[in-house]
Amino acid sequence: MGKWKKPYNRERRWNRRALIARDDCRCGVCGGRIERMKDVTLDHIIPRSRGGSDTIDNLQLAHYGCNQSKADLLPDEWAALQGI
């Protein structure tokens, strides 16, 4: 296995399916509908760098761009930057 290649993670696949069902395929960051599955990412509501966990309660679906713009911000901090 290469240096950057992660092992297959079955739990992550199940998390994604559970989140799709739970969140009705909506982005947890912007609230918009996620149209294509290749655009979906898993976002940590409380970032791991700030003590967040990998549990399904701390995960949400997000568009790739929304997840990148949120980075390691808490939801309140991201909303303040967006003027929401």
CB 73 within 8 A of CB 58: no
Angstrom distance (rounded) from CA 74 to CA 83: 14
> Average per-residue pLDDT in the chain?
85
Q: State the pLDDT at residue 46.
A: 95
Q: Read off the pLDDT of residues 2-40 as tens digits, 9 standing for 90 and up.
A: 555 555 566 666 778 888 899 999 999 999 999 988 888
- 54 confidence band (pLDDT: 50, 70, 90): confident
- 83 confidence band (pLDDT: 50, 70, 90): confident
Q: State the pLDDT at residue 3.
A: 57
Angstrom distance (rounded) from CA 18 to CA 31: 17
Angstrom distance (rounded) from CA 44 to CA 59: 5
* Domains along the chain with CATH numbers: 26-82 (1.10.30.50)
Angstrom distance (rounded) from CA 42 to CA 3: 22
